[in-house]
């Protein structure tokens, strides 16, 4: 669902950019006030895993693929503010380094996936948790929130396309919703399986646990998590489904795919490390590089925000 440059007009880009900047400022303030220090490395691991998992397009139907958005996964682990920042970091690196999503459209992509996908998705999860207790209830709530947040992100993306005059509303809304209803099922299944695995091994890491904990994330958990993310990027991403995702499929079907533009020359375009003849190896190396960059960047961002918090507390 990464919107490239050329799909949205200037007023929509300005509006979504302003909303995203304001939203990230609020998210940073929330992290500054409430993120426990032991969850800073978890921000890095979450960003690395989401980046790697987003490279793994899965087939849906009719020659269309989907991929993990990761907003609810990050929200359950970190809370809405940190999740929004993590997803924004992923989207920024994807746009600037891999030509995945437009640079000018970055505000729109952050709004759709960081705030609709992560913040709204986290709110849906928390509301559903009040209805569904226990571990089964948690997994049910995770699945429902991940599915619904994917559909809602598609709705906002459709609204942006309609506002820009790219497609009329009566065409773009049914098209986007129908395909993302199916993609959301994959989102829900992947997110549920990851949260179930964490609930079985480190339930204290799940956001909003009934019993607060100051136990650290643990280097073993971080190491295993980073190894899994790198394994996905190196060994699985080269074999990901090559079908276009929901937005790309709709753009091709309705004739505006040619509007896509690449305004900034990136280092690793299309997740292929330049200078390597083998497409599989080029993708694997690009995935590994991106995964490590995401881990480091998100950790640094989290540490800066928590450091600012400590300084404010002293003053």
- 145-187: pLDDT as tens digits: 999 999 999 999 999 999 999 999 999 999 999 999 999 999 9
Q: Reduce the secondary structure of 74-116 to three states and give it as a string.
A: HHHHHCHHHHHHHHHHHHHHHHHHHCCCCCCCHHHHHHHHHHH
Number of independent structural domains in the chain? 1
* Assigned domain for 227 exists: yes
- Domain of residue 211, residue span: 10-314
pLDDT the model gives residue 217: 67
pLDDT the model gives residue 249: 96
pLDDT the model gives residue 174: 98
Instruction: Report the distance separating Cα 256 and Cα 47, nearest Å.
Output: 31
User: How many C-beta neighbours within 10 Å does residue 263 have?
Assistant: 13
Instruction: Report the distance separating Cα 315 and Cα 232, nearest Å.
Output: 44
pLDDT the model gives residue 308: 54
* Assigned domain for 1 exists: no
* Assigned domain for 2 exists: no
* Assigned domain for 213 exists: yes
* Assigned domain for 41 exists: yes
In DSSP notation, the chain reads -PPPBTSS-HHHHHHHHHHHHHHHHHHHHHHHHH--GGGHHHHHHHHHHHHHHHT--EEEETTEEE----HHHHHHHH-HHHHHHHHHHHHHHHHHHH--S-STTHHHHHIIIIIIIIIIHHHHHHHHHHHS-HHHHHHHHHHHHHHHHHHHHHHHHHHHHHHTTSS-HHHHHHHHHHHHHHHHHHHHHHHHHHHHHHHHH-GGGSTT-SS-------HHHHHHHHHHHHHIIIIIGGGS--S-BHHHHHHHHHT-GGG-B--S--SSGGG--TT-S-HHHHHHHHHHHHHHHHHHHHHHHHHHHHHHHHHHHH-
* Assigned domain for 5 exists: no
Any idea what the CATH number is for the domain that residue 304 is in? 1.10.1760.20
* Assigned domain for 4 exists: no
**245: β partners:** 65
pLDDT the model gives residue 209: 44
pLDDT the model gives residue 216: 58
pLDDT the model gives residue 218: 77
pLDDT the model gives residue 215: 57
- For the chain, residues with pLDDT lower than 50 are 208-212, 309-315
pLDDT the model gives residue 306: 86
* Assigned domain for 3 exists: no
């Amino acid at each position: 669902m990464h919107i490239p440059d050329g799909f949205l007009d200037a007023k929509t880009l300005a509006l979504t950019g302003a909303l995203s900047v304001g939203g990230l400022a609020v998210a940073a303030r929330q992290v500054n006030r409430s993120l426990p220090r032991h969850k800073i490395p978890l921000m890095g691991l979450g960003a690395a895993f989401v980046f790697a998992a987003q490279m793994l397009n899965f087939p849906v139907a009719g020659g269309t693929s989907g991929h993990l958005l990761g907003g609810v996964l990050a929200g359950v682990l970190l809370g809405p503010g940190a999740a929004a920042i993590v997803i924004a970091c992923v989207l920024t690196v994807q746009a600037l380094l891999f030509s995945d999503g437009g640079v000018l459209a970055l505000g729109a992509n952050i709004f759709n996936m960081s705030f609709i996908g992560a913040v709204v998705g986290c709110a849906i999860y928390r509301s559903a948790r009040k209805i569904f207790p226990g571990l089964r209830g948690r997994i049910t709530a995770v699945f429902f929130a991940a599915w619904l947040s994917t559909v809602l992100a598609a709705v906002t993306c459709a609204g942006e396309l309609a506002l820009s005059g790219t497609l009329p509303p009566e065409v773009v809304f049914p098209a986007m919703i129908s395909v993302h209803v199916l993609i959301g099922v994959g989102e829900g299944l992947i997110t549920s399986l990851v949260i179930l695995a964490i609930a079985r091994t480190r339930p204290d890491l799940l956001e909003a646990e009934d019993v607060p904990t100051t136990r650290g994330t643990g280097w073993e958990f971080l190491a295993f998590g980073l190894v899994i993310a790198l394994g996905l990027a190196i060994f699985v991403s080269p074999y990901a489904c090559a079908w276009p995702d929901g937005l790309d499929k709709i753009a091709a079907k309705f004739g505006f795919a040619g509007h896509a533009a690449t305004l900034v020359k990136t280092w690793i375009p299309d997740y292929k490390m330049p200078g390597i003849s083998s497409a599989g190896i080029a993708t694997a190396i690009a995935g590994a590089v991106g995964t490590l960059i995401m881990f480091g960047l998100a950790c640094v961002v989290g540490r800066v925000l928590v450091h600012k918090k400590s300084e404010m507390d002293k003053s």
